[in-house]
Chains A and B, each alone.
Chain A
Amino acid sequence: MPRETPALLPPFSRPHSRVAIRRVPTYQSDISAVLYETLREFDPPVRGKVVLLKPNLITLDPLGITNTNPAVIAAARESFLRLGASEVFIGDGSGIDRDSQAIIESMRLREFAGPLAKIFVDLNVDDVHRVSLRTRASRLKELYFPKILLRADFVVSLPKLKTHHWAGVTLSLKNMFGAVPGGCYGWPKNVLHWAGIDRAILDINAAVRPDFAIVDGIVGMEGNGPLQGALKPAGVLILGDDPVAVDSTSARVMGLLPEKVKHLAHAATLLGHIDPEKIRQLGETIAGVRTPFSVIQQFRHLRQDVNSPLWTQNCL
C-alpha cells in the first residue's frame, strides 16, 4: 500500500543534491514562469504521475502572513501540470484548526488555484493507512498517514520560510507534520510533541520521503513563529530534490546554522545533505540573498556571526 520510498542512506553513500535559489521580489511577480523554468532544470519524473503538493495551511490567514502563499501554490500546481503530471492535488492537515474550508477561504486559494472540489484534500480527515516507522528516532513505533499521501507518485513539500518557537525553523521537513492526520491524533497532534518534535520530524520524513521541496521565501516570518512572528520579506523561492538540502540552504539564507537545528542535524544522518560541499547550488548564491531572520532567545544559538569561519565556509 505505501508508495515505494528511497532507502535510508548515510551521507557518504548519497549522490550530491541540487538546490536552486530564485529571486522573486513579490507575489505579483511571474511566479509560474520562474517555477516552471526552474523545475524543468530538475526534470522531476512526474510525467503521467499523480503529484501531491503539501503546502503549510495552518490557520486562517486573510493577510497572507502565516500560510504558504496561494500564488505560490497555484504556480506550483500549474508548473507540475505543464511538466506532464496527470493529476496535481493540494493537501494539508492543520495542526491547530480543523476547519480547513475556513482556512482556504480566508486565504482566497480558490481565486488562485481554481475550483478546489476535486483537487483539495484535507489530510486530517482522509482515509488512513498504518505505517510502521523505519527510523524510530522518537518513541513512536507507527503512525497513521492519509492514503492520498501514500498513493501519490510524487510528494512536494511546499512550506513558508519561517522560524518556529519549538523547532527553530519550520521548512519542508517540519511542514510534514501536517501530513499526520488530526482525525487520528487531534488538534494539535500532541502525540508528536510528547514523542519529541525533532525526532518525530525525522520519523515522519523517513516514512513519507517527500520527493521535492519548494520553500516560499518571498515573504517569510521571523521571531515567534510559526503563528505569532513578524513578516520578513526575503524575496526568494528555494527549491530542490533533497528536502534536507533545501532546508539547510533556507536556514543559511535566514542567517541560521542548519547544523545546530536539531531536526536538520538528525535528518542529515539518513535523509539528505546538510554539508554545503554536497549541495550543488543553482541560481543565486546564498550570500547574495542572505536575509537574517530574528529568532526567539531560546534559539539564539542558531544565529551565526557572518564573519565567522563556519558562516563563510557555508554561505559563500
Chain B
Amino acid sequence: MDRAFLARLRSLQNSDGGWGFNAGCESRIEPTSWALIALQEFSSSSGPDEPLNRGLRFLTAAQLQDGSWASAPGQPEGCWVTSLACWALLAHTQYSTSLLRGLRWLNDDRPRDSGFLWRMARKLADRQSISTQSASFSGWSWTPHTASWVEPTCYALIVLHAAAAAPLSNLPRRRHLAEAMLYDRMCPGGGWNCGNPHVYGVAGQPQVGPTVWALVALHENSDRRENRESLDWLENIQDTIVSPESLALAQIGLGLYGRQNSTLTERLQSSHESDKIPWSIQAIAWAALAFSDNPEWLTVLSSMPS
C-alpha cells in the first residue's frame, strides 16, 4: 500500500520540485517537507531518487537569509515550517550547512510569551479564571512574535532532539521548558489540542493531530502517566476517526508506542480507495509513513552536523 501512496506523491510533485497542499497548488514548505520525509523513508540506497533530489533542491533554495523558512512564497519572515524543513533535511549530509542554519534559527527563535516582562505581567494578572496554564513554561510559536502552542513546539522538539549533538547554546534548557509546557497544556484525562486545556473552567477537547505530535515529541518519557493517559485517549477514540489525515496520524502515534492497530491501516486503505474528497499531500505522506514497518523517520539521529 505504501507504494501506491509514494507513487501518488511522486505524480503530484510540481515542476519546481516542491509540493502544494493539494494537487495543482503552488509549492509550499510544509507539504514539501512531509512529501520529502515520506519519500526518504522508503528511498532505496541503490540509486538516485530524482523526485527526492529535486524536492531537496527546492527546499534549500527556499531557505531565507537568516536560516528559516517561510510558510508561503514571498513572506519575509520564517516560521514553524522551519522545523519541518530541518526534519526533511536531517538524513541528507550534503545539506548539513543548510540544516545547521535552520537549527540555529530555531534555537534562537523565542515566542513572545517567553519574555520576562510578559511572564511577570501574566503572573500578576488574575488570569486563573480564564485559563490555568503556567506562564513559567514556553515552547515555540506558529509565527514570529506570538505565543507558544502545542504543534509547533512538538515539531521543534522532535527536530532538536534529533539534533542534540549540534552546537546550539542553551538547547537543553529550551527543551526542558518546552517539554514542561507540553505537559502543562495536556487536556484533563489525556490528549492535546492546539494548546487550551481549560478555558473559563471548561476542559478543552483533545484532537488527534496535536496528541500524536505531542506523543512523538515526548516519546523519551514513554512511561510517564501523561503519555499513557494520552495513548489511552487515542486508543479509545480511534473507532470514531473518519478522515485519512487523522487515521494515518493515529496509526503513527500508536505504532510508535507499540500499540499498532491493523484496523486503522485497513480503514486508511479503504478510505483511500473510496476517495470521498481528494487527499491533501500531507494526508498522502502521513498515510505512507503509517505503513512503514520500521519508522526510521521518527528516529533520525545519525546524520547530524557536529
Contacts and interface: CB of A to CB of B under 8 A. Distances in A.
Interface stretch (B57-65, B147-155, B182-190, B252-260): B147-155
Interface string B139-173: 00111011101011000000000000000000000
B244 A101 contact: yes
Contact of B25 (A99, A126, A144): A126
A191 B71 CA distance: 14
Contacts of A96: 193-194, 207
B21 interface: yes
B62 to A, nearest CB: 15
Contacts of A125: 21-22, 25, 280
Contacts, number: 108
Contacts of A193: 146
Nearest to B70: A184
A151 to B, nearest CB: 14
30 contacts: A96-B194, A97-B194, A97-B209, A99-B209, A99-B246, A101-B242, A102-B208, A102-B245, A105-B242, A105-B243, A106-B242, A116-B276, A117-B276, A125-B22, A125-B25, A130-B74, A165-B200, A183-B28, A184-B75, A186-B79, A186-B80, A186-B141, A186-B142, A187-B149, A188-B142, A188-B194, A190-B146, A190-B147, A224-B199, A224-B200
A183 B282 CA distance: 12
A187 B208 CA distance: 14
Contact of A127 (B26, B142, B245, B278): B26
Given A186-B79, A190-B143, 13 more contacts: A97-B207, A98-B209, A99-B243, A101-B242, A101-B244, A117-B276, A126-B21, A126-B25, A128-B72, A186-B146, A187-B142, A188-B194, A191-B145
A110 B276 contact: yes
Contact of A165 (B147, B199, B207): B199
B202 interface: yes
A194 B146 contact: yes
Contacts of B72: 128, 144, 183-184
Interface string A158-189: 00000001000000000000000001111111
A137 interface: no
Interface residues of B, number: 42
A117 B22 CA distance: 12
- Interchain residue pairs A-B with the least CB separation, the first 4: A186-B142, A125-B21, A102-B243, A101-B243
A289 interface: no
Interface of B: 20-22, 25-26, 28, 30, 71-72, 74-75, 79-80, 112, 141-143, 145-147, 149, 151-152, 193-194, 199-200, 202, 205, 207-209, 241-246, 276-278, 280
